[in-house]
Structures are given as C-alpha cells and as structure tokens.
Amino acid sequence: MGISFFPEKKIFKLDTSASSYIFKIGAGGYVMGLYYGARLDEHDVDYLTVREGHDSTVPLSAAVDDWRFSPDTMQAEYPAYGSGDFRISAVKIKNGDGNSVTDCRYVSHRIYKGKEPIPGMPSTAGGEGEAETLELYCRDVTGAEITLVYSVYESHPVITRRAVIKNGGEAPIYVERAYSAAVDFTHPEFRLLHLWGCWGRERAVERRDLGHGITTVSSGRGASGHYHNPFAALLAPGCTEESGEAYGFNLVYSGNFSIDAEVDAFGLTRILVGINPEGFSWKLEPGEDFCTPEAVMVYSDRGEGGMSRALHRFYREHLLSEKWLKAPRPVVVNNWEATYFGFDTEKLVSIARSAAELGIDMLVVDDGWFGRRNDDTSSLGDWVANEEKLPGGLSLLAERVNALGLGLGLWFEPEMASRDSDLYRAHPEWCIRTEGRDMSIARHQYILDLSREDVRDYIVDSLSSVLSSANIEYVKWDFNRNLTEYSSSLLPSDRQGEVFHRYVLGLYEVIERLQKAFPDVLFEGCASGGGRYDPAMLHYFPQYWTSDDTDPLERIKIQYGTSIAYPACTMSCHVSASPNHQTGRRTPLRTRGDVAAAGVFGYELDPTALSDREREEVRRQIAEYKAHRRIVMEGDLYRLVPPEGNVAAWMYVTPDLEEALFTYVRMRTMIAPVSFVRLAGLDPDRTYTDGDGRRYLGSTLMRAGLNLTGSRRDGESVTVYLKAEPQ
C-alpha cells in the first residue's frame, strides 16, 4: 500500500493519495527526515539531507564518520533533549541517575496492514484495506525504548503519528516531554494559521508570519479549551483559500496540548504537536509504557480549502461514529434561552406541543431539571430530578413529550460538583484540590477528580440511573470551568505531574462506559459553548455545541473558523430569538435559519412565543433543511467569501457533484452594493437548475458567478439550491 522500505539506502517512503513523507536511517542509527510534501515518484532523495552548520556539535561515535553531520542541523524525526540538538525537543526523559539527557536511535521496524487503536484513548480508525502502519523501534542507552508509529491512508492525504515510550531499564524513569509528532522543514518562510478565541468567540482564524525563535499555541487549562484549539497549519508562500501548499496538524486529545513552531538560525522550521510539557510528568516503572495521543497530519496543494475538505472527509470516514454519521440527526429545540431556570412540566410540554406542530423532532431540557437547581449556585453532581418542577419526575415528562411525537433529551455537567451540593458535602475529597491551599471556585463549582476510580464509578452510576429512569434519547454534556490546584489525594508526590493526563483518560473511560451502556442515546458535546472542541471529543460526540453565541453574524465567523479543521456534520447550530440574547442584535428569521442550516440544525427559543408568520417561516426552514441536510452533512465545503468584509458566502457540494447549497449573507449594508460571487466545486460541464427553474452551466457559475447585487440590509441572506440535470 502506502509504506515502502528500501534497505540498500535505509530509506522509508510513506505515500498518501497526494503526498509523500520520506526519511532515512543515518549513520549511528539517527532517524533523519528528508521530505514532506507533494507526492514524489522516487525515493532516493538523500541529497536533501542538511549537513552544514557552523559551530555545531558532532557526536563522537565510531558509527558517525561524517564530520559535517550534527544533530543541531539534522532534520530529526523525533528530536531528543540534551544530545546535541539545541532546538525544541519532542522527548525528554529523566533517567534513573537523575539527568534528563535523552537520545533516540533506530533498532528495527515493522510494517503491517491496518491500524491498531490506542489503549485508553480515542484515535482514528483504519482497516487492513484502508491504512498501513509502520512501527519504528528506537532505543536510548539508558534502556528507554521509543516506538514511533506512523499510519498512512492511501485514499486520503493524511498520515497519523504517535509515540510509545517504554521503560526497558531496571530503575524508574520519568517522562517529562512526550510529543506525538515532529516535522522539520528546510525553509523558514511559512505562515502559521491557528484558531484562537474565548467564550462566545471561539475559533477565530489568525495567520501570521513565522519569525526566528519559537511560536507556541497551547493550553494549560486541563482542557483543549476556548482560547486555543489543538490545530495549526503551516502555509507555504503564496498559499490562498484554493491554491498553494498547506500542512495541517491536529491533535486527537482533549487536555493540555502544545503546538510549537521553531525557526532556527540555519533557516529550518520545526513543528511539534503533542501534550503540553508544562506541569506534565509521567513515572514509568520497569516494563511500563506511556502512549501519546495521536497527531493527524494532512497535506494539500489546493490551499486552505483543500486542506479543510481533506480533513473533513477523513474525519467523517475514520473518526466519527458511523451510526450517527449516516442517521438523520434530530432537529432539536433546547429550552435554555426560552426559559433559563424558570420552567416546570407544563411549560416544557407546551414547548414540545408547539415544536411538534412545526416539525421539530426533539425537546432538550437544559440546566435546572435536577436537585434544587434554580440558578447556577447549587446541585451539580446531584443527578436526581427536581419533582417540585417536574411532578412525577422524568418518566412522566418523557411520556407526555413522547406522546406528542418528540424525543426527550437532557443536559448534564457530569465532571463538576457545586459547592452547595449533597455530593460535595459528602465527598469534598473527590474534587481536584491541593492540600494546604484554598480551592479556586468558578461558576460556584469545583471539578471532580476523574483520575479516581470511585469518582468515575459515581458519575457512571448516577447518570446511568437517570438515563434508565425514562426514555432519554439525547444527552448534552457540558463542561464549564478549567482545572486549578491540580493535585489528586490518591496519587503519591512523584506522580502529581500525571493528574492532567489521568483526568483526560478518566473522562474518556467514563464516556465510553456510558455510551456502551446506552448505545442509542445521541451525545452532544459542550464546554461553556464551544470549548474543548477537538477530534477526541468528536470521536465520542458526533456533534458539538459550536458556541453559546447564537447571533447569526457572529456565528458565521465562528462556524467559518471551526470549518478550517472540523466538518459541518459536527457543528451544532441553532436558530435563536431576535434581539439576540448575547449581542442584542436584530436579524431576520430567514437569515438565522440560513446560518444555522450550515451545520446540525436546531432551535434555541420559545416556539410558543412565535407569531403565525414566524411559525410558517420555521416550518419552511425545517422542511428545507430536512430535504437538503445530506448536502451539508456529507458534502464538500467551499468557503467562497470569508466573513471579514461586507458579505460572506459559502457552499456545500455533494461528492457526486449532483447537488449544491449556496448561502450568501450581507454582513453590513452598502451603498450601491454591486456583488458577484463565483461558485466552486461544481462539474463545469453539467447544467444546474435552481429552485426557481433557472438553468446555469457549472463553468459559468464558477467563472462568472451569481449576481447578488441588491439593496439588502444588515443580516439579510440568500440561499440557492442547485440540482444537476440528468446527463
């Protein structure tokens, strides 16, 4: 398939559908990169080795006789700390004698069909006919064994990487850095694209030139978070939305991460992707091993858009649950912005009744259904229905909602305990805390220590009791604060650096146990809106609440940034009330629907408060969405006009090029607003018909565009459905 080894040159060549990745075993067992980029027809590219460097260290080894060679200028496959490579390192291990000098030399390798899962962590899948894997076995003189794992997908321009570190010695060792992937490029001219943000403004896109030194995008909050996403791309000179070279890097991990790009004095660029080493340490007893999370690397010679579409296709086919990918997702109405905490059974049933008349499929009851939860100050962890609000409990509510033809969903925040809760009063030791220090509080809540087995069992048992008590078909899983005072009362002092990672492993275990027990429940992820939106969460949660900001003009920007790495079928997008609860902006109901239809569609409002005219519009939105959602869920996205100016436009095209859905939004009113938008992704030789029966040749739409000229006001939109005529 995609992996070849040429023993005469000791060269490995990894070929995907559009890229080649080549490295070799050099003198002394050094694992040395040679090339990553567009697919090559030859493997013998040893001339690409960098051998020059002024005042660089040279290893004194009988096996290394090239005095021009230095680890400090080598294109290292997995750069180690303290052995002559002074750039940022991928691995650092404190040895039994207390020093942290680490080396990584080739011993042997194995190539096999398919791809093996990572114990205790999510990863992308690949059967024997889909992927091929290389395991490269390396060793340090201390006995530390490092296995570099590469998996290649021939039908995607994707390579995944990870590392396994094993203590093959006789004394304990401490892993202090363990990145998943490293790549050295032989020029310094990249721009870095990354996704930053905060609550209500997630995944904003930033592009900047890399300068000499180290540029880091990271999280140290215990979660991948709002502020930085575990994705970055290196853009070659001249890269645009639809042309030029782009290299994307994404970490399949939900905890502290770091993506580091270093430009050195010799004009080389190194990028590292992995667990954030700040606050991290992992003790390995003899014979034990540590697995890093998986890094996904994608190459595109068709710009940022090509990179995004490649990632979207790859994640749909190899990361997301096939069950929920193919099944029509329910159109939900969430009661949060309709009622906040002020609801009872009768109010919920009235919402469900009105929703059923409109074609909505699911009522999701948000925060406030449990314990004594009438505001955000109490009861997290006390997962028992509040019968003062819900007489007869969840069972009776489910029966009444189901009788109207709707499913019932519930909001949980399973990883938390309120300070005012029965759970915290009974088990304060179950929270993450550092002895002798005050516990920081946020949103009146603490974080449960998921590194503890008893805590994990409690969460699974308490949620299972609720999900078994009534016909619950949908769970919205929230996470509203980050980790502080990160210590665990059950871990010894030399293992406290493991808390962050053990928390994440505990989270994965809890979710897996619940999903195995309730395979027909649809789980949606959430973290104060769109925090912790990463590939690992998407492995478990096929859709994710993209942001608490439901203002459509703000959502266009958020959904645009999210689409850089993540497919539309993962973006949960709702139509909310106007004026918007976050920004106060007024926008047409049609536009709110058009923007929400760019992902998994739903509502975040009170349908009983709609006028007759609004109800007719909602019926139209739902009917059109259900008719066209396959285009969005399975289609290729083309970002036609970014939301940086007066307009924004995008479109989805089905893989067979038979159908397309184009959306245009006027972000700001313009005087004399002449506006033409060129479409993309269509078959140039096919004729397409829009909803009004007008016919267009695909090549004309892509070369001349649609004429959107008109006096549209702020926030007004147009959506055009295109269907190819039979050939």
**Catalytic positions, written as ranges:** 478, 548
Q: Measured between alpha carbons, how far is 27 from 105 in angstroms, rounded to an integer?
A: 10
Angle formed at CA 572 by CA 569 and CA 574, multiple of 5 degrees: 130
Q: Measured between alpha carbons, how far is 581 from 574 in angstroms, rounded to an integer?
A: 13
Listed in sequence order, the residues at least 6 apart from 452 whose beta carbon sits closer than 8 Å to its beta carbon are 430, 488, 490, 506
Closest to 564 measured CA to CA, from 315, 311, 320, 227: 311
- Which residue has tokens 């899983």? 477
Q: Measured between alpha carbons, how far is 624 from 689 in angstroms, rounded to an integer?
A: 16
DSSP of 207-254: EEE--SEEEEEEE-SSSSTTTEEEEEEEE-TT--SSSB-EEEEEEE-S
Closest to 313 measured CA to CA, from 58, 556, 636: 636
Quickly list H helices, 662-711.
Answer: 698-703
Q: Where are the beta strands (DSSP E) in 444-595?
A: 445-447, 472-477, 522-525, 543-545, 571-576
What one-character DSSP code corresponds to residue 712? P
Q: Measured between alpha carbons, how far is 539 from 321 in angstroms, rounded to an integer?
A: 7
The residues that bridge with 344 in the sheet, in sequence order, are none
Q: Measured between alpha carbons, how far is 391 from 385 in angstroms, rounded to an integer?
A: 9
Q: What is the largest CA-CA distance in the chain?
A: 85
CA distances from 595 to 255, 311, 554, 600 (A): 30, 22, 10, 11
The residues that bridge with 545 in the sheet, in sequence order, are 572
Q: Measured between alpha carbons, how far is 625 from 601 in angstroms, rounded to an integer?
A: 8
Q: Measured between alpha carbons, how far is 538 from 155 in angstroms, rounded to an integer?
A: 21
Listed in sequence order, the residues at least 6 apart from 42 whose beta carbon sits closer than 8 Å to its beta carbon are none
554, containing H or E segment: helix 552-562
Helices then strands, each counted (H, E), the chain: 13, 38
Listed in sequence order, the residues at least 6 apart from 91 whose beta carbon sits closer than 8 Å to its beta carbon are 78, 79, 80, 81, 102, 104, 146, 163, 165, 175, 177, 178, 179
Q: Please give the structure tokens belonging to residue 370.
A: 């449990």
Strands 706-707 and 676-677: antiparallel
Q: Measured between alpha carbons, how far is 298 from 315 in angstroms, rounded to an integer?
A: 11
Q: Measured between alpha carbons, how far is 661 from 585 in angstroms, rounded to an integer?
A: 26
Q: For residue 314, count CB atoms less than 10 angstroms from its CB and return exposed for 0-12, middle for 13-18, buried for 19 or more.
A: buried
Contact criterion met (CB below 8 Å) for 473 and 407: yes
Which residue type does 148 have? L
